[in-house]
Amino acid sequence: MNALELVIEAPDGGLLARRFGEREPVWLGRDPSCQLVLDSALVSRRHARVERVGAELRVRDQSVNGTDVDGAILHHADLRVAGKCALGIGPYRVLVRTLTADATREPPPCARESGEGGPVPLALRRQIQRRLLDHLDLARLDPRAMDPLRMRPEVERALGQICDALGSNAPGPAQRGVWIDELADEALGLGPLSALLADPEVSEIMVVDPSTIYVERRGVLEATALRFTDDEAVRAVIERIVTPLGRRIDESTPLVDARLPDGSRVNAIIPPLASRGPCITIRKFAARALELGDLVRAGSLGAEMAAFLVAAVRCRKNIVIAGGTGSGKTTLLNVLSAAIPERERIVTIEDAAELRLRQSHVVGLESRPANLEGKGAYTIRDLVRNALRMRPDRIVVGECRGGEAIDMLQAMNTGHEGSMTTTHANSPREALARLETLCLMSGVELPVSAIRRQLAGSLDLIVQQSRFADGARRVTSISEVAGIDDHGELQLHEIYGFERDGGGSGSGSERPPGRFRATGHLPSFAAELEPDFELALSGVLTVQPEGAA
C-alpha cells in the first residue's frame, strides 16, 4: 500500500507530521471533523481535501480564500499533481507526499531475485549508512536535540547524492525514492516500522529480530519483507521511543514498556533476555475509537447482546471482561465505558494508557516502574487504593493481574457500583478462579470461602471475549454471577452465548461459524434493566452485521 504523509508548518514555526492510508481522503480545515484541524480564522471550516488517484494526488478546494498549490491559487476546483506538492492554507504550509510501502508485503520471487521492488540489500544498506554518518556527522549529534522533521530534508538530499554515487549498485528510478524513504526513516525515525504504523490495516507489529518482522492484519499474523540493518538499528529505534518518556533500556534494565505519541503501546526487550536480538512489540492505537455499532456490524456480538450490556452499564452493574491475549478485551471495555452517563466522575487505572473515554469528567491514572535506584514505583494496586480517596463514581481498571483484585472487589462492594475491569481467562468459570487466585496473592490472609463471598457480592456479569482461528473476535458468553451454592461454589448462569454450528471459520468462508443466542435465563436484576434495555435496543437494532441480508 501507499501512505500519505502531511508535514504541517504552523505560523509559529512548529512542525507536525501525520500519515494516512492510501484510500483515506484527508480533509484540512478549521472544523473538528477534519482529519487535520488548522486553527485559524483564515482557514475555512472544510478548506481543502487531498486524496490519492492512482499514482497522482488530487487536491480539491472548497474554501472562501482559496488554496495555494505549488505557488498557484486553486479556488473551488480540483487539481491533479504528481506524488508530492506544497499547499498554502491560510497561515499554514503543508507538504504532502506519497510514501511507498510495497515492501510491507512479501515481493514476488522474480522481484526478490532481481533485487527490484524489495528493501535495500543489507550489505549496501550498511555502506550507505556509513557514508551518511560521514556526510552529516550524525554520530556526534545528541538525538534528544535533533528535530527529525527539520533534519529530514537534509538527510534526504544526502542520501540522494550517496545513491547517485553508488555506480553499478545505484538504484533505478523506480527504486530511488523507496530507498531514500527507507534509509531516512531508519536514520531519523522508526525505520521500517514507519510504513507499518502508517498502514491502517496493521493492528500489531512484532520485531522478532533485525531481519524478521511480523504484522497482524485483521487478526491474522503474516511475515513482511522489511528488515533493520542490524541490532544497533533496532536499539536506536527503541531509544528514540523511550528516551522522551524518561525511560531507559540497557543491560541493567533490559526490558521496558512505553507508548508512542499516538498512544500505541510498545514493549521492548533486548539481550541478554532476548536471545535473537532486540525485540519490539507494538500494539497500535486506532485512529478512531470504535463504537458499539462497529462491533455489531463486524459480527463481534449481536444487537440484543449489545443493548443488554449498555443497559447493564447504565444501571451500574459491575462487569469483568475476560479473554485471552489479543482477544479484544480492552477494545470492548473502551466501547462499554462510553455508556457511562456524562454526569458521573470516572477514574481509569492502567499500566499503559489505552482507554479513550469520551466523558469530560475522567481522571486517568497510569502506573510507574521503579527508577534506577529501585524506588518510586507505583503499582496498579497503589493507584486503586488512591482512587478510593478521589471520590469516584466508577473505577475502570485496564486489567487485574495481581493483588489489586481484592481492592477492586472491595471498591465494587462499597459504593462504587458500575465499575469495570478485564482479566486473562479462557472461560467465565476460569475468570472467577483467576480472580480468586489473584485475591489470594494480595497478602491479605482471608479464607477461600470469604473471598468467594466477596466475589459473589461484588460481581454482576462476566463477559467472555474470544479470538477465533480466522482472526475474528467475538463475545462468546455473557454470564451472571448468581451467588454461592450449597457446596460453597460460585454459581454462573449464562444469559447470552455464541453457538458454533459447524459453518465455515476461515477468512474466506461464506458464513460465520455459528450464531449468537439467548439462553432464556433472566438475570436477577432484569427488572432494573428493562427501561434502559429498550432504549439501548432501539439504538442498535437497526445495525446489521457485515454481510447480513
Residues 37 and 106 in one domain: no
User: What is the β-pairing status of strands 72-74 and 78-81?
Assistant: unpaired
Structural domain contains residue 230: yes
- The rounded distance, in Å, linking the Cα atoms of 219 and 470 is 7
CB 407 within 8 A of CB 399: no
Same domain flag for 403 and 359: yes
CB 432 within 8 A of CB 464: no
Contact 138, 130 (CB under 8 A): no
pLDDT of residue 432: 94
Predicted pLDDT at 44: 92
Distance between CA atoms of residues 146 and 360, nearest Å: 36
Return the C-alpha cell found at 166: 553508488
Last residue of a domain, one of 68, 100, 132: 100
Q: Report pLDDT for 119.
A: 58
End-to-end CA distance of the chain: 31
Assess if residue 142 is contained within a domain: yes
Length of the chain: 549
Do 458 and 512 sit in the same domain of this protein?
yes
| Position 426, amino acid | N
End of a domain among 227, 253, 283? 283
Q: Pick from 441, 439, 433, 447: which is nearest to 490 by CA? A: 433
pLDDT at 357: 87
Cα 403 to Cα 175, 380, 409, 526, distances in angstroms = 55, 9, 11, 32
Q: Once rounded to an integer, what is the mean pLDDT over residues 92-113?
A: 55
Q: Is residue 180 located within the same domain as residue 234?
A: yes
- Total number of domains constituting the chain: 3
* Of 8 and 286, the one with more pLDDT: 8
Same domain, 171 and 126: yes
383-389 CB contacts, 8 Å cutoff, 24+ apart:
383/349, 384/349, 384/408, 384/411, 387/347, 387/349, 387/363, 387/411, 388/416
> What percent of the chain has pLDDT above 90?
28
Query: Residue 474 falls within a domain, yes or no?
Result: yes
Q: How confident is the model at residue 422 (pLDDT cuts 50, 70, 90)?
A: very high
Q: Note the pLDDT of residue 84.
A: 81
How many H helices and E strands in the chain?
Answer: 14, 26
pLDDT exceeds 70 at position 384: yes
Residue with cell 448462569: 493
Q: Which DSSP helix (H) or strand (E) runs through 234? A: helix 231-242
Q: What are phi and psi of 322, to 5 degrees?
A: -110, 155
Work out the pLDDT band at 109, boundaries 50, 70, 90.
very low
**Residue position matching grid coordinates 472461560:** 427
User: Quick check: is 457 in a domain?
Assistant: yes
Same domain? 81 vs 135: no
442 and 329 within one domain: yes
**Separation between Cα atoms, residue 70 and residue 60, nearest integer Å:** 14
Residues paired with residue 494 on neighbouring β-strands, in sequence order: 479
Whether residues 397 and 498 fall in one domain: yes
Distances, alpha carbon 279 to alpha carbons 196, 203, 232, 261, 274, in Å: 16, 17, 12, 20, 7
The residues, any chain, with a CB within 8 Å of residue 362's CB and separated by 6 or more, are 346, 347, 348
- Return d(Cα 423, Cα 475) in angstroms, integer: 14
CATH number for the domain spanning 490: value is: 3.40.50.300
**pLDDT tens readout for residues 292-346:** 888 988 889 998 999 999 999 999 999 999 999 888 898 899 999 999 999 999 9
Q: Phi, psi at residue 303, to the nearest 5°?
A: -60, -40
What pLDDT score was predicted for residue 122?
A: 65
Of 100, 131, 159, which residue constitutes the final position of a domain? Answer: 100
Whether 545 is in a domain gets the answer no
- 148-162, 236-250, 330-344: the lowest-pLDDT one: 148-162
Q: What is the DSSP letter of 286?
A: P
Distance CA 189, CA 202 (A): 18
Q: Any long-range contacts for 74-80 (C-beta under 8 Å, 24+ apart)?
A: 74/48, 80/53, 80/56
Please state, rounded to an integer, the average pLDDT across all residues of the chain. 81
* CB 179, CB 120: distance < 8 Å: yes
Instruction: Round to whole Å and give the CA distance between 18 and 280.
Output: 22
156: containing domain: 102-283
What pLDDT is attached to residue 137?
59
What's residue 150's pLDDT? 62
Give the domain CATH number at 84.
2.60.200.20
Sequence-ordered list of residues with C-beta below 8 angstroms from that of 466, at least 6 positions apart, any chain: 323, 324, 327, 426, 473, 474, 475, 476, 498
- Based on the domain organization, do 66 and 84 belong to the same domain? yes
Max CA pair span of the chain: 84
Confidence of residue 429 (pLDDT cuts 50, 70, 90): very high
